[in-house]
Every structure is written in C-alpha cells, then in structure tokens.
Amino acid sequence: MTAPKVLWASRFRSDPSPELMNLSRSETSHFRLAPYDLVASSAHARELVRSGLIEKAEGERIQAALASIGTDIQAGAIHPSSTDEDVHTFLERILMERLGPLGGKLRAGRSRNDQAANDLKLYLRDRSRRMALDLLGLQEALAHQAERHIFTLAPGFTHLQPAQPVSFAHQLLAHAQGFARDIERLRDWDRRSARSPLGAAALAGSALARQPELSARELGYDGPCENSIDAVGSRDHVAEFLFVTAMLGVNLSRLAEEIFLWSSRQFRWIELDDAYATGSSIMPQKKNADIAELTRGRSARLIGSLTTMLTALKGLPFAYNRDLAEDKRAAFEAVDTLAAVLPAMAGMVRTMRVNVEELKRQATEGFTLATEVADWLARRGVPFSEAHEITGGLVRYCEDRGIGLEDLSDEEFATVDPRLDASIKSCLTPEAAVTARNAYGGTAPERVNEQLARLRSLFHDQRKWAIHYDGPRT
C-alpha cells in the first residue's frame, strides 16, 4: 500500500487538475515545518497507543520511523516531491513507504486542520525565542556603547531641533527601552499561545485521541485549547505575533533613522565600521549606512505581513478555511526578515565609533541651555511664565549679536533682566544641565548608570526565558 498523492481524494472519481494542484500546493518554504510536524506526530502516536487504537509495539515502530525521517531530512537525504501537496502529505508518504499500512494508521484521530494550526504554533513559539536572543544581541550592543558614553555630552532633540543637552548613553538606552518592551511583548504573546490545537481534529474534536492534555504537555504547552472550533479556526495568535514583529520593525526603523543622521557629514556624531557599511559604484568617497537603510525598508515588509493576516481573517466564518494558509506566508516572511536584520544591526551598533568631542561641541548649539536660565529663575521665585519670557528675550539678545548664552558678560545678563546675576553662569554648562536632571529616568549620569543596571538585569531574565523552553526546537 502506498500513500495517496493527496490526503483528501478518497471520494473523488478523478485526479485533481494541474491547475488546482498548482494553486493548492504549499510553497517550498512551508516544508520548514517538517520537524515540528514530526514531533507532533510522535506525540499523536503515543496518544493512539493510550487510546488502544494501535499496539505498543506498533507505536514504537512508528516512533522510530518518525525519528529516522527527521534525521534524514536534516541530512538532506529526503526531500518533498512535486506531488506532495503539503508537509503533511510529504511526511505521510515517506512514513508509508517505510512502514506500509502501519504508517497509514497515524492519521486516525487527527486532521490537517489541527496539524496545520499546531505546526505553526510550535514553530512560532520556538522562533520567538530565537528572535529574542537575536534582539538581545542588539540590546547588548546598545548597552555596551551606552556604558562607554555615560559621561559623553550630546545635544538632545525635539522636532529634530536642538533642545537640551543629554548623556549620549541616555539617547542610546531610549532605543534599548523600546526593544526591551518588544521582548516583553513576545513573552506575553507566548503565554497566551501556550494552548495546543492538537486533538481538535477537523473542528469538533476527536473521538479517537481523547487525552489532548497529555499530548499538549509533551509538546511544551500549558494545556489544550478550550474549544475545538476555536483551536483550528482562529489565528489571532499569528496576527498578534505579527503585530509584535511589526512593532519591533518600527522600533528598528527609528534606530536606523538616527544612524543615518548620526553618521552623516552634517552630524558627524559616529563613524561606521567599514565591515558594516557600503560604498558607491560611481562615487569612490561614499560610505553608506546600507544596513540601516535596508532595515528601514524591511520594516515595511513586517507591517505588510501584519496587514495581510488581519485582512485574511476579517471575513471568515468559524472553523477552518483555506484562507488561513496565508498565516504561514506572513509568519515566515516576518521571521526570515528579522533573522537577517537583527544580527546586522547589532554588528553595526557594536562596532560604530562615537565622536565624543564633536558631540560635546554640538551639545550647546542652538541655545540648548536656555531652559537652565528659566529653571534658575523659577527656583528664585519667578513665575515660570515670566521666566520663560525673560529667557526668550535673552535668546533674542544673543541672536542679534551672533553669540551664545555662554558668551554673555555679567553686565549683559543684567541688561536683559536685573535678576540675572553672575551666579547664573554656574548653571550654563552642558555638564551642569545634564547633572541637574537627576530624577528617576533622567539623563544625569548616576540615573543613567542605574537605568543601565536595571536593563542588564532585565536582559538576564529575558535571556533565561529564551533559553529555557520545554517545547520542541530545531
């Protein structure tokens, strides 16, 4: 006995048309789910033994055959054929070639519906942890740079206009904070996704595999899905995963945008390592931040994958519909994109060189110390609205003369307002401005040090989550 070319054709009088099979056949990338399908099949075989549908010895033969198939796939010894409609057809064909009719017994009590939902969920739970580890590589690069530049002064911006001096480490860690939330979103997503669809069968549950809680535990889930229709017909966990990756893509794109600015000749804040930059085929002098540009572009793919999934889901009736096959295309696109982007971004950040003196020089350009004048007046009892007006007048005075606040003499301060005495000058340095922001979360070096320590502790916790996982890995 050989496996049928398709798993659903027993009631049909003729073979499916080439046009149907061309549309129906899974893309080559979908066969990456084979290891997860095999481990789930192994769990299902144990369930069939428990149910008495197959003998213990038969179960052991099936288990051994599944293991050997996995080994051969990993070694590249076997491949899907052009007639294998999907990963399930491929694996059943190989199993029946090796075991004959015994291989056909494994299909009892399950459907491609719960298999497909389960395979992708296992894949995403595994890959979410790999993604977290890759993102932690970027986080460590940011933390390493921040540790070196806690006392490096830099201009902070709002509306891309000079605003106030900050520690450059504080600027770097602003990105690290967003990425830390991305990992927390992955962890939170994983908690909601830790329910197994296996045992739901086509939609109503299985009359043969009746202990799905045991299979769920074997596969690293917290338990089976509560509702068999929901188990096979819902993909909100895929949409949510894609939201997390899209949000991560947006955060990566924002960092990329800053890398463009920082490395430009106009800013001159950083220089990229040659190994993480490209040139021009016509302009020999060029050094381009292509990794950042590609990352910004790939973020569009991540947003597109989320949009694809939400659009596919919005009009579906309950239980399984073939529209749901779009879940794999969207999920694989997101996973593959981030697998390429994250290590490249981490290397670029880790190796970039910071121009400390240029940053310090720019830290006070554009009257970034003006807020220090207003705060100094407010501490002396001047209503802040009035202090704001006085400081604005001081800035106008400097602009008219082409000088900075730090260039004003004692007499010039007093000319603008007699309350501006000589003691104000102690506040008008970028060091003083940064040190003064010493509330929790501020840019003062001591606060940045504390922030960095808390982040490193969080990184340690997130790494533990990513490494210690009871489900199947490939």
Q: Classify residue 333: in a domain, yes or no.
A: yes
* Claim to verify: residue 398 and residue 416 sit in the same structural domain: yes
Domain of 141, CATH number, reads: 1.20.200.10
pLDDT of residue 4: 53
* Claim to verify: residue 125 and residue 253 sit in the same structural domain: yes
* Claim to verify: residue 169 and residue 56 sit in the same structural domain: no
* Claim to verify: residue 255 and residue 304 sit in the same structural domain: yes
Burial (0-12, 13-18, 19+ Cβ within 10 Å), 474: middle
Q: Residue 288 in contact with residue 279, Cβ under 8 Å? A: yes
Dist CA 298 CA 132 (whole Å): 18
* Claim to verify: residue 176 and residue 283 sit in the same structural domain: yes
Domain of 376, CATH number, reads: 1.10.40.30
Q: Classify residue 416: in a domain, yes or no.
A: yes
Instruction: Single out the residue in 108, 136, 156 at which a domain terminates.
Output: 108
Cα distances (Å, whole numbers) of residue 27 to 115, 224, 297, 455: 17, 29, 24, 41
Domain that holds residue 17: 9-108
Q: Classify residue 220: in a domain, yes or no.
A: no
* Claim to verify: residue 282 and residue 171 sit in the same structural domain: yes
Dist CA 388 CA 385 (whole Å): 5
Q: Classify residue 171: in a domain, yes or no.
A: yes
* Claim to verify: residue 240 and residue 284 sit in the same structural domain: yes
Which two tokens mark 417?
A: 């307002």
Dist CA 233 CA 256 (whole Å): 38
* Claim to verify: residue 141 and residue 55 sit in the same structural domain: no
* Claim to verify: residue 138 and residue 264 sit in the same structural domain: yes
pLDDT of residue 20: 84
Catalytic annotation, residues: 159, 280
Which two tokens mark 169?
A: 């480490």
Count of domains for the chain: 3
Q: Residue 276 in contact with residue 206, Cβ under 8 Å? A: no
Low-confidence ranges of the chain (pLDDT < 70): 1-5
Instruction: Single out the residue in 108, 138, 173 at which a domain terminates.
Output: 108
* Claim to verify: residue 80 and residue 122 sit in the same structural domain: no
Q: Classify residue 408: in a domain, yes or no.
A: yes
* Claim to verify: residue 237 and residue 378 sit in the same structural domain: no
82: closest CA among 150, 135, 154, 27?
27
Q: Classify residue 127: in a domain, yes or no.
A: yes
Query: What phi, psi does 158 have (nearest 5°)?
Result: -130, 145
Q: Classify residue 433: in a domain, yes or no.
A: no
